[in-house]
Amino acid sequence: MMTIAHHDASISQRGLSFHVSRFTTSRGNRPDDAKLARVKLAGKIAIVTGTSPNIGGGIAQGLAGEGATVVCVDVVPENAEQCAGWIRRRGGNALGIVCDVTDEAEVENLVTRVRDTYGGVDVLVNNAGILGGASVLEMPLERWNRQLAVNLTGTFLCTKHVARLMVERGRRGSIIVIVSTAGHQGQAGNIGYCTSKSGLLNFTRAAAMDLARHGIRVNSLTPTATDTEEGIERAVDWGRARPEARGRLLDFKTMVPMGQLPSPRHYARGAVFLASDDAEMITGFDLRVDAGAIAKYWPWIPGTGGG
């Protein structure tokens, strides 16, 4: 009987060496095994906003690993350029662009530059966001406005102008909105972040309805508290000094049913799926890559038996 095993492997595709997932069989490597490791996003142009070494950088590299040309966008020049540079050094195609996603003129200029450089856009990942916050009693209005402007309005502006280009060029694209488990649940001391991320969930559904007739799919992806090691190693790969390890107030790893926290590469795999033709009939959907955090019955502590 033939057995099928799933494992990770590094393959080289058109000079790119990235970490990808593929299937092999117990019959060994046959000439047609490479077909099982197909590159899902070959020829696609993707924009990723918020490309720090953590989630956004991981998603950008994951899309590049599946053959996409990636435009790395960040308000911090080092994040945009270093993310794009890492991809290019490995034989991929990438462009770093500095943009404040809350400024409509800058977003329009971003989309125009991508159009003029590559001809259009197939994938948009709205990841730019501001973490952290304060309680409803303590949140300054200026901080509230800035957090909602980046997290919510920035996503609206990027979606609006990229979708217009997709419609103009007749591209049946994919738009992905990065949310958070904090958008599904109330968290004390985080009023702005929770509110903005919750708003993105229904923004995704409404935008999906607006754009369905154009063949443009809009979905969200929900991360949770993320393992920090991969982001640290990515920062070092980008040429940065290794940051000092910082503790967390809560032991998130013991709170999720799967017993370990996701890493950016796990979110990247979800984004690749949503961006690819594998998800051609999926829109208005939230893909939770959260190790079971949201599904968990609230008083249950994993590892202690039943609730």
Mean of pLDDT over the chain: 88
pLDDT band, very low/low/confident/very high, at 18 (cuts 50, 70, 90): low
- Residue of 97, 91, 196 lying closest to 143 (CA atoms): 196
Task: Find the mean pLDDT for residues 111-129.
Answer: 98
Residue 217, Cβ density class (10 Å: 0-12 exposed, 13-18 middle, ≥19 buried):
buried
Would you say residue 25 has pLDDT above 90? no
Task: Find the mean pLDDT for residues 24-29.
Answer: 35
Would you say residue 33 has pLDDT above 90? no
The pLDDT assigned to 45 comes to: 98
Q: In the sheet where 174-178 sits, what is the strand order?
A: 94-98, 69-74, 45-49, 123-126, 174-178, 217-222, 286-288
Q: Render pLDDT for 225-234 as a digit per residue (tens, 0 to 9).
A: 898 899 999 9
The pLDDT assigned to 85 comes to: 98
DSSP 167-234: HHHT---EEEEE--GGGTS--TT-HHHHHHHHHHHHHHHHHHHHHGGGT-EEEEEE--S--SHHHHHH
State which amino acid sits at residue 40.
K
- Residue of 96, 98, 102, 92 lying closest to 117 (CA atoms): 96
pLDDT band, very low/low/confident/very high, at 6 (cuts 50, 70, 90): very low
Q: Render pLDDT for 255-275 as a digit per residue (tens, 0 to 9).
A: 898 889 999 999 999 999 999
The pLDDT assigned to 307 comes to: 52
Is residue 193 flagged as an active site residue?
Answer: yes
Q: What does the alpha-carbon distance between residue 36 and residue 23 come to, in Å, rounded to a whole number? A: 6
Outline which parts of the chain fall under CATH 3.40.50.720.
40-239+252-288
Choose the weakest-confidence range: 85-94, 127-136, 240-249: 240-249
Residue 56, Cβ density class (10 Å: 0-12 exposed, 13-18 middle, ≥19 buried):
buried
Residue in this structure with the two tokens 């013991």, named with its chain if needed:
254
Q: Render pLDDT for 205-243 as a digit per residue (tens, 0 to 9).
A: 999 999 999 999 999 999 998 988 999 999 999 999 998
Task: Find the mean pLDDT for residues 138-148.
Answer: 97
Strand spans (E) along the chain:
4-13, 16-25, 45-49, 69-74, 94-98, 123-126, 174-178, 217-222, 286-288
Q: Render pLDDT for 40-73 as a digit per residue (tens, 0 to 9).
A: 999 999 999 999 999 999 999 999 999 999 999 9
| Better-predicted residue by pLDDT, 171 or 246 | 171
Q: Render pLDDT for 99-110 as a digit per residue (tens, 0 to 9).
A: 999 999 999 999
pLDDT band, very low/low/confident/very high, at 135 (cuts 50, 70, 90): very high
Residue 222's DSSP bridge partners are: 288
Residue tagged active-site, from 118, 193, 267, 297: 193
pLDDT band, very low/low/confident/very high, at 244 (cuts 50, 70, 90): confident
How many residues belong to the chain?
307
- Residue of 122, 147, 28 lying closest to 69 (CA atoms): 122
Would you say residue 5 has pLDDT above 50? no
Q: C-alpha dihedral over 77, 52, 45, 149, to 10 degrees?
A: -80
- Residue of 87, 45, 3 lying closest to 275 (CA atoms): 45
Q: What does the alpha-carbon distance between residue 67 and residue 80 come to, in Å, rounded to a whole number? A: 19
- Residue of 226, 230, 220 lying closest to 275 (CA atoms): 220
The pLDDT assigned to 285 comes to: 98
| Better-predicted residue by pLDDT, 35 or 295 | 295
State which amino acid sits at residue 38.
R
Strand spans (E) along 94-170:
94-98, 123-126
- What percentage of the chain has pLDDT greater than the value 70? 86
The pLDDT assigned to 62 comes to: 97
The pLDDT assigned to 23 comes to: 27
Q: What does the alpha-carbon distance between residue 99 and residue 235 come to, in Å, rounded to a whole number? A: 21
Return the CATH class of domain 40-239+252-288.
Answer: alpha beta
| Better-predicted residue by pLDDT, 303 or 29 | 303
